[in-house]
């Protein structure tokens, strides 16, 4: 039987992890069975789970090796503002508190966070932290009003009481490089498509002569993380391939200015070399 309110449901943990930006320290407050902490790639710095329930903490401590994470048994409302890591912008705090009473039908935990006042205090405390914060919940007027300047996504999730719309609020802008890309994608089908693409590209790259692979690796590394949003007058792919047949140097110039598409950049880099046939990685 899964822990009440667990984030282990199909499609739920994948969605949460694939919105987590790169971070140095990770803190999961209101940890419960700590599905996210146990599943995501560990942070390179400290990994901490916090829950106020002694039984929950004992179980977590027995499941997580001390080297993997620190379990703090205590009130997250008091611990978060006091942890040094929470004042560092490179720390990520993920909170999955007991949801606001008006958004659910019954009490589930020995320790609840039930009333609007308690949730007001939670939001005030989280807004005072200097680190990145992600917060799960159901929609309520309170959260809507208080978190109007945070980013938010929502997605359906199956619960013991039926299908509900999970919300995830974030105090940082979307589009940051991801900490763990393994479950990126809207749904199972898209995640599988991305996995197949990764395998195909990897095999193509592994089959290449070493130097050629190095050239492509360097080209990929040179593409900025936020390249997708860059609006530049990049030449179209046919223009570059025409340029290549006309003069390889022209294609090289085209490639030098092209940062809006990783695949097209590879193609342009390939096209710029007279020794290598055009390569299309899609
Ligand atoms: C929604 S559950 C978390 C479920 C968890 N995300 C999972 O995947 O299993 C909420 C948890 O918050 C804990 N909790 C309630 N009040 C707390 C507080 N003030 N400080 C820390 N933990 C608290 C409860 O004991 C419960 O385990």
Does pTM surpass 0.75? yes
Residue 2 lies in a domain: no
The per-type count for the chain, helices as H runs and strands as E runs, is: 11, 7
* Residue 159 and residue 36 share a domain: yes
Ligand 1 pocket test, pick from 30, 100, 134 with the greatest ligand atom count within 8 Å of Cβ, gives 30
* Residue 169 and residue 114 share a domain: yes
Q: What is the pLDDT of residues 48-100, one digit of tens each?
A: 999 999 999 999 999 988 778 999 999 999 999 999 999 999 999 999 999 98
Query: Which of 81, 98, 184 is CA-nearest to residue 133?
Result: 81
Among the candidates 128, 153, 182, a domain finishes at 182
Range of the domain at 204: 186-271
Among the candidates 162, 182, 202, a domain finishes at 182
Ligand 1 pocket test, pick from 3, 4, 15, 32 with the greatest ligand atom count within 8 Å of Cβ, gives 32
The stretch 206-227 carries a mean pLDDT of: 90
Q: Whose CA is nearest to atom 7 of ligand 1?
A: 6
Q: What is the pLDDT of residues 251-273, one digit of tens each?
A: 454 444 433 333 333 333 333 34
Residue 97 lies in a domain: yes
* Residue 38 and residue 174 share a domain: yes
Residue 7 lies in a domain: no
Ligand 1 pocket check for 98: Cβ under 6 Å: yes
Residue 191 lies in a domain: yes
Residue 136 lies in a domain: yes
* Residue 191 and residue 177 share a domain: no
Residue 105 lies in a domain: yes
* Residue 251 and residue 117 share a domain: no
Distance from Cα 150 to the centre of ligand 1, integer Å: 22
CATH at 104: 3.40.50.150
Q: For position 44, what pLDDT does the model report?
A: 96
* Residue 202 and residue 173 share a domain: no
* Residue 194 and residue 73 share a domain: no
Ligand 1 pocket test, pick from 8, 39, 48, 52 with the greatest ligand atom count within 8 Å of Cβ, gives 52
* Residue 156 and residue 33 share a domain: yes
Ligand 1 pocket check for 136: Cβ under 6 Å: no
Hey, what long-range contacts does 148-153 have (CB within 8 A, 24 or more apart)? 153/15, 153/19
Is the pLDDT score of 238 beyond 60?
no
More confident residue, 142 or 244: 142
Total number of domains constituting the chain: 2
* Residue 20 and residue 121 share a domain: yes
* Residue 133 and residue 225 share a domain: no
* Percent of the chain predicted with pLDDT > 90: 63
Residue 223 lies in a domain: yes
How far is it, in rounded angstroms, from Cα 23 to Cα 42? 10
Of 60-69, 119-128, 147-156, 230-239, where does mean pLDDT reach its minimum? 230-239
Ligand 1 pocket check for 118: Cβ under 6 Å: no
Distance from Cα 265 to the centre of ligand 1, integer Å: 46
Separation of first and last alpha carbons in the chain? 42
* Residue 175 and residue 230 share a domain: no
Kindly give the number of the ligand 1 atom that is closest to the alpha carbon of 79. 20
Hey, what long-range contacts does 67-71 have (CB within 8 A, 24 or more apart)? 68/42, 69/37, 69/42, 70/46, 71/31
Q: For position 281, what pLDDT does the model report?
A: 42
Residue 279 lies in a domain: no
Q: For position 111, what pLDDT does the model report?
A: 85
Q: Whose CA is nearest to atom 26 of ligand 1?
A: 32
How far is it, in rounded angstroms, from Cα 130 to Cα 240? 46
Q: What is the pLDDT of residues 139-183, one digit of tens each?
A: 999 999 999 999 999 999 988 778 899 999 999 999 899 999 999
Among the candidates 152, 182, 212, a domain finishes at 182
How far is it, in rounded angstroms, from Cα 33 to Cα 136? 15
Host H or E run for residue 89: none
* Residue 154 and residue 68 share a domain: yes
């Amino acid at each position: 039987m899964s822990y009440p309110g667990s984030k282990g449901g199909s499609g739920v943990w994948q969605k949460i992890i694939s919105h987590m930006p790169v971070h140095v320290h990770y803190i999961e407050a209101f940890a419960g069975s700590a599905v996210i902490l146990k599943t995501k790639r560990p942070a390179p710095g400290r990994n901490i789970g916090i829950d106020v329930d002694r039984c929950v903490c004992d179980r977590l401590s027995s499941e997580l090796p001390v080297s993997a994470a620190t379990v703090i048994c205590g009130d997250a409302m008091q611990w978060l503002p006091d942890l040094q890591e929470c004042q560092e912008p490179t720390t990520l705090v993920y909170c999955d508190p007991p949801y606001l009473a008006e958004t659910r039908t019954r009490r589930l935990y020995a320790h609840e966070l039930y009333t609007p006042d308690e949730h007001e205090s939670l939001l005030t405390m989280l807004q005072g932290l200097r680190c990145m914060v992600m917060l799960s919940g159901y929609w309520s007027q309170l959260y809507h009003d208080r978190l109007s300047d945070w980013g938010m996504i929502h997605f359906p999730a199956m619960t013991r009481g039926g299908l509900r719309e999970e919300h995830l609020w974030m105090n940082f802008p979307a589009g940051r490089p991801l900490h763990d890309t393994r479950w990126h994608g809207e749904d199972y089908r898209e995640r599988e498509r991305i996995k197949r693409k990764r395998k195909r590209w990897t095999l193509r790259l592994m089959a290449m002569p070493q130097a050629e692979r190095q050239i492509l690796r360097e080209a990929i590394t040179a593409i900025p993380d936020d390249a997708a949003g860059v609006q530049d007058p990049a030449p179209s792919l046919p223009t570059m391939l025409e340029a290549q047949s006309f003069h390889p140097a022209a294609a090289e110039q085209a490639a030098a200015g092209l940062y809006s598409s990783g695949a097209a950049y590879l193609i342009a880099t390939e096209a710029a070399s007279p020794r290598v046939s055009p390569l299309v990685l899609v």
